[in-house]
């Protein structure tokens, strides 16, 4: 089953599973957008728009998702925001280089088939000095156990359990980690903030 198909099927139930569980972590991540002048912000894998209620109104947002079903559910949460929904693949972004000041990657790197490609595309469309805000579940290097065992099943339905963020980061390069904090599930879910190199 493709991700497009599986997420079209889960769209009606997605919020019930994730709204309360992830609200606090989303707010902590997005506080980075609270101050400062208007910026162009890309929300990669915007889904049903669970981030939208926590976004400050001064910025210009583009929310990209693979499925129309997810974007349809995001629209009622747009009130008061300069928000443009767009269907597209986070692994092949339809934007020019250096188009955005900030990229938000919440629960997307551990979903896509190629997280390295997803992160590389996010870096490509960021302006030098731009920020990436990441919230997702990641294995630690060398970690084994049930997550790796279940991954062959879960990766084809909804999410991957085998992504090691440090491996993805090393493969992409050009980023500085400015924060890397535990968020949920004893640190399995992490809040990571990165800055794109200016050279």
Contact 159, 110 (CB under 8 A): yes
Pairwise CA distance, residues 150 & 147, whole Å: 5
Classify domain 3-196 at the CATH class level: alpha beta
The packing angle between helices 115-125 and 165-172, to 10°, is 50
Decide if pLDDT at 143 tops 60: no
pLDDT band at 149 (very low <50, low <70, confident <90, very high): very low
pTM: 0.83
Of the given ranges (11-15, 24-28, 34-38, 126-130), which has the lowest mean pLDDT? 11-15
Domain ranges of the chain: 3-196
- Say which residues have a Cβ less than 8 Å from residue 178's Cβ, sequence separation at least 6: 193, 194, 195
What pLDDT digit, counting tens, does each position of 155-194 carry?
A: 444 556 788 999 999 999 999 999 999 887 666 689 999 9
Between these two residues, 157 and 196, which has the higher pLDDT value? 196
């Amino acid at each position: 089953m493709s991700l497009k198909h599986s997420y079209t099927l889960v769209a009606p139930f997605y919020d019930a599973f994730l709204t309360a569980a992830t609200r606090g972590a989303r707010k902590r991540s997005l506080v980075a957008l609270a101050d400062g002048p208007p910026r162009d912000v890309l929300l990669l894998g915007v889904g049903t728009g669970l981030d939208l209620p926590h976004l400050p109104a001064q910025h210009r947002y583009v929310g990209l998702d693979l499925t129309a079903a997810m974007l349809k559910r995001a629209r009622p949460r747009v009130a008061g925001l300069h928000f443009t929904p767009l269907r597209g693949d986070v692994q092949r972004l339809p934007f020019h280089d250096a188009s955005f000041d900030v990229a938000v990657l919440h629960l997307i790197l551990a979903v896509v088939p190629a997280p390295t490609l997803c992160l590389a595309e996010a870096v490509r469309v960021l302006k030098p000095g731009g920020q990436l805000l990441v919230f997702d579940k990641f294995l630690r290097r060398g970690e084994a156990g049930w997550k790796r065992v279940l991954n062959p099943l879960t990766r084809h339905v909804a999410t991957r359990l085998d992504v090691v963020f440090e491996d993805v980061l090393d493969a992409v390069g050009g980023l500085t980690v400015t924060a890397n904090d535990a968020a949920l599930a004893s640190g399995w879910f992490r809040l990571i903030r990165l800055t794109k190199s200016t050279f």
